[in-house]
Chains A and B, each alone.
Chain A
Amino acid sequence: MDLRKELEEVIRTRGLAMRTEEAEKLAGYVGRMPTPLEFHLFDTMWSEHCSYKSSRTTLRLLPTQGPLVVLGPGEDAGIVSFAEWEGNEWCLVVAHESHNHPSQLLPVEGAATGIGGIVRDVYCMGARVTGSLDLLRFGDPAGPSGERCRSICRGVIEGIWKYGNALGVPNLGGDTRFHPGYDDNCLVNVVALGFVRRDRIVHSYAPPEAHGEQYVLILTGKPTDDTGFGGATFASSDLEDDSRKGAVQVADPFLKRVLSEANAAVLDHLFEKGVSFGFKDLGAGGIACVTSEMAAHGGLGIVVDLDSVPVSIGGLPPEVVACAETQERYGLAVPLRVAREVMDIYNVDYELPRLFPGAGAFLIGRFTEETTYRVVQAGSEVACAPVESITEGIVYTREERPAPVIPVEPEERPCRPGEDLGRMLLSFDGASRRPIWSYYDSEVQGCTRFRPGEADACVTAPIPGCSAGLAVSGDGNPWYGELDPFLAGAHAVGEAVRNVVAVGAIPIAVTDCLNYGSPEDPEVFWQFGRGVRGIAMACGVLGLHEGGGPLPVVSGNVSFYNQSSAGGAIPPSPIVAVFGRMDDFTTATDISLKEPGNTILLVGPRRDELGGSLYYRECLGHRGGRVPGFDGGLERSMAEFVLECHRRGICRSVHDISEGGLLMAAAEMSMASRPDARRGMVLNRTDADPVYLYSETPGYLMEVPPEGLASMETVPDFVSVAGRVTGTFSIRSGGMEILLEPLLDEYRSLLERVVWREEGLR
């Protein structure tokens, strides 16, 4: 049999995702038939999930640098400078990942390990994790697959609270949307953020000192089992059937919590001793990836002894021990001379072996000057490859074929504000997310100022004692995605920026997760490219931070193959998170209407561009139309105006205009008012104009004192007075009055029927 046939045979019998040409390349690197461990290691390293082989070229379009950027994309998380406090420069550390495929098959475990994995990426930069966000996309709860969609939705929420709450990381929101395009492939995107002193940033490779002194690799955490074997490969292929459940990892937030405490003690110890070290979490590809990458990116080789790896199941073949994605593990590169004391912190001070059978810290490898990656077991070599093969990725040029959607507008647009508002508020996308958030602990760590839903962005004071505030928001509209993949990318950034600006913060960084179908489909790859260009364009104009330049994308992830064998690809789903900073977190502004008589300003003209709008979908049963344009110059001017109003201290409440348009925003601001001091709004316009009331042209509603604008020398022409705050719980316009009280209970409880219990849906 020739080599090619032999390689194909291995790929088939081992269920590998690599192509024959890739296997040939691997055989070339090792100069012989690769070992099973080598096959699995490179199957992971060269998977789409790890190698970005299809997306890398396109991703270069994104701005990633700027005056505040400390570390752009490349390591486990991105880092931006955040605040000076007590003589130290504190940095924000952010990471963004998807756990779509695992969550579709095993929702509880998939969502839990999604958080587990993303927080490790932030921890391993040396940071304290101070928040997480979940950006969830589910199928239609009332559609043909409704029962399964609801069950996945419930499972994902359960996975999130069971993991995040126990870990002690506050949930800072995110968003949840429903679209039939996710019936067979939900999206579970997760963001984690944390803070680290700039002089205590840790890198994920063996430090330069390892060239002069013997460094070793310590593996710490859970004992290795066979869970998650082939996980990264699995994330890079179609969701064909349920037989890949074994590729989903099992999470343990309790062990993670103790491990995080022990890690913090170890890092403190090493910094105090002045020892250089490397630290990396174990994710895709397990031990094999962490050891090879820590060595290769440090310009070293390593010898890994698999017999030293603690396992919880006997008799596992070497490729499983080396490549399984058992959760709650980290790798540390430290000098041999401190290895004992480091292991004692884990094993004696924090008693890992007593708290979890088989857990602990163990020395499993030695770094070498010879740049070869070796794995030995029972005295024989089970892998041996030059480290260049690990650092040198592979790149594919994918074909793209434009597939623009021709906008089709509805023939008639009847406008019955009372009825329309009811339909929009009481829809799956429009209803309160409170039934979901009620499961999440958003206040652990004691730093939370605004919880999800109270303001456009969550706001925290993440560095105790320091007044600097952090505002975060995540967005992405699939209904725009299916109509215009470019504008979906631009608006994802635009809306998240507006949310952060609405509370009074200046955006400083972006992360993204780009969720698409198969990159091998030229139309899908075109959608992907359009989405990236949309994000790049919006970031290019929305850099509002000191020092100027585009808003940098500092971390992110690409998730392809989001489709089922039966259905097509998901709607193009670029999802972004925006992080903002404010000098004084106590000045942050929420969305609740405050004082009758205050003026309501409308920031941003209303335009006839209702394609994909909540009004079209819920009131006209129409999904087409022209998506709102993205006017970068206007978007920037509006943000500058709102931030200027914040600086002058005249904002009493601010809400961005997005789904459902102006009327929906007004209703949400009213319903957020105090139950013992209900507020409403009277609008100056008296005609029932669907463009004015429902268009999702970007903008803001802002409550200011009646004399508020008097202090402004000039008011931009995109600002107008929309009405004023009233002491009645209603929205009035001309002779019409929409009472909100009758809608309130249903608005708040609608999603209970999706996430609490099985009950008849409309």
Chain B
Amino acid sequence: MKDLPLVAVIQFPGSNCEYETARVVEVSGMECRIFRWNQLQPLRDASPDAFVLPGGFSFQDRVRAGAVAAKENLMDLVVEGASGGRPVLGICNGAQVLVESGLVPGWEPGRIEAALAANHVSGRSGYLSTWVFVRVRNGAGIGNPWLSALGGSPVPIPIAHAEGRFVFRKQDAGRTRPVEALAYCSHAGEESGVYPLNPNGSFHNLAAVMNPEGNVLAMMPHPERAFHLWQLPPWIPGEWGDRRSAALSGGNLGTAPGPGSLFFRSLLEHFGGGAA
């Protein structure tokens, strides 16, 4: 690898996770720059190798979450990069922007065929902030620039959103299966379809959806908040809970990687870096 890959983090008006997202990209061994929504020319000149749309409340979720940001001129450059095969990741509000721009599920490029609807939990409405487990859908991780390092085991990761329920224009498993990327499950990997294992009522327990090519990934959980093992809550069960306990007694909690780092390790490996 001659130069470090350059990752562009896009700041929309109302984004609020851009700085920690940029930090974890850098810690993962890549170069990262934050581009403001109106910095089209600098973004074009930089010609980044990958794009990340961070979490937040772009344009105050006016109309629908992500709907206004998806119409910003700067998104043309993201669409261009995506159709050229460059990896694009949308986290939370970034995922909402990708869905509203038609990049995901991307059955017909540019056509909006999914939505991230308001959470649907019996008796409860509004924002939900909690840790969940997700795992990669069978086969989705193979060769994927964002998922390849995750393997098939459930990983703990936090969600924090009010509108995170994937719905599709035609809720047809035959169409959605090839673009299903991450599913909510228990720490043992079971899917129940209902709260709290499925925290928002998402179709097929989906936590993340990609385009058919797999280079564009829209995920509701926040990998940058599970990047370090020390970010995990004390009560996390299963293998990752054991790793946390071991690091705590081993005195290396400050440096041990968390499950969220796997998304960025996948990207680094995609560019030929890291321990492949």
Contacts and interface: CB of A to CB of B under 8 A. Distances in A.
Verify that A and B bind, or say they do not.
Answer: yes
Interface of A: 158, 161-162, 165-168, 252-254, 257-258, 261, 349-351, 355, 437-451, 454-455, 461, 464, 467, 584-586, 590, 592, 594, 672-677, 752, 756-757
B29 interface: no
Given A441-B129, A677-B237, A752-B124, A351 B38 contact: yes
A83 to B, nearest CB: 15
B13 A443 contact: no
Q: Which 8 A-B pairs have the closest CB atoms?
A: A168-B16, A446-B20, A254-B60, A676-B237, A166-B57, A586-B254, A586-B253, A590-B234
Given A253-B57, A350-B36, 16 more contacts: A166-B56, A253-B60, A254-B14, A254-B59, A257-B14, A257-B57, A258-B14, A438-B129, A439-B127, A443-B160, A446-B17, A446-B227, A446-B231, A464-B20, A672-B235, A675-B237
Contact of A254 (B57, B158, B253): B57
Given A439-B129, A451-B233, A675-B237, A467 B254 contact: yes
Contact of A446 (B23, B36, B127, B234): B23
A258 B13 contact: yes
Contacts of B129: 165, 437-443
Contacts of B36: 349-350
18 contacts: A161-B127, A254-B60, A258-B13, A350-B36, A351-B13, A355-B13, A441-B127, A443-B160, A444-B16, A446-B17, A446-B224, A464-B20, A586-B230, A592-B235, A672-B235, A676-B238, A752-B123, A756-B123
A592 B235 CA distance: 8
B236 interface: yes
A253 B236 CA distance: 32
Contacts of B17: 168, 444-446
A166 B14 CA distance: 7
The listed residue with most B CB atoms (<10 A of its CB), out of A254, A437, A592, A672, is: A254
Nearest to A449: B230
Nearest to A348: B38
B155 to A, nearest CB: 15
A355 B126 CA distance: 25
Contacts of B19: 445
B33 interface: no
B59 to A, nearest CB: 7
Nearest to B56: A168
Interface in B201-246: 222, 224-225, 227, 230-231, 233-238, 241, 245
Judged by DSSP, the binding face of A is: loop
Interface in B81-125: 123-124
A147 B231 CA distance: 38
Interface string B241-276: 100010000000110000000000000000000000
B79 interface: no
A756 B124 contact: yes
B38 A439 contact: no
A55 B19 CA distance: 42
B24 interface: yes
Contacts of A594: 245
Nearest to B229: A586
A283 to B, nearest CB: 23
Contact of B235 (A445, A448, A674): A674
Interface string B114-149: 000000000110111110000000000000000000
B254 A584 contact: yes
B165 interface: no
Contacts of A449: 230-231
Contact of A438 (B20, B130, B225, B235): B130
Given A161-B127, A253-B57, A592 B160 contact: no
A97 to B, nearest CB: 22
Nearest to A171: B129
A252 B14 CA distance: 11
Contacts of B245: 594
A648 to B, nearest CB: 14
A757 B234 contact: no
Given A257-B57, A756-B124, A445 B234 contact: no
Contact of B23 (A161, A355, A455, A464): A464
A461 B254 CA distance: 11
A308 B168 CA distance: 50
Nearest to B12: A258
A442 B20 CA distance: 14
B124 A674 contact: no
B13 A438 contact: no
A166 B126 CA distance: 13
Contacts of B227: 446
Contacts of B231: 443, 446, 448-449
B224 A439 contact: no
Nearest to B236: A674
Contacts of B230: 449, 461, 585-586
A674 B241 contact: yes
Nearest to A260: B16
A443 B14 contact: no
B179 to A, nearest CB: 28
B238 to A, nearest CB: 6
Contacts of A676: 187, 237-238, 241
B160 A165 contact: yes
A309 B39 CA distance: 29
Contacts of A166: 14, 16, 56-57, 60
A168 B36 CA distance: 17
Nearest to A355: B13
Contacts of A672: 234-235
Nearest to A252: B60
A254 B12 CA distance: 11
Contacts of B24: 446
A446 B157 CA distance: 12
Nearest to B38: A351
Contact of A443 (B23, B158, B187, B234): B158
Nearest to B233: A454
Contacts of B254: 467, 584, 586
A756 B127 CA distance: 11
Nearest to B60: A254
B229 to A, nearest CB: 9
A318 B41 CA distance: 44
Contacts of B224: 446
Contacts of A675: 235, 237
A756 B235 CA distance: 24
A162 B161 CA distance: 11
B160 A757 contact: no
Given A166-B57, A258-B14, A592-B235, A161 B126 contact: yes
Contacts of A158: 126
Contacts of A440: 127, 129
Scoring A592, A594, A676, A757 by chain B CB atoms within 10 A of each residue's CB, the highest score goes to A676
A261 B15 CA distance: 10
Contacts of A454: 233-235
B266 to A, nearest CB: 19
A446 B60 contact: no
A756 B119 CA distance: 14
A257 B16 contact: yes
A5 to B, nearest CB: 50
A439 B36 CA distance: 29
Given A445-B19, A467-B254, A590-B234, A757 B13 contact: no
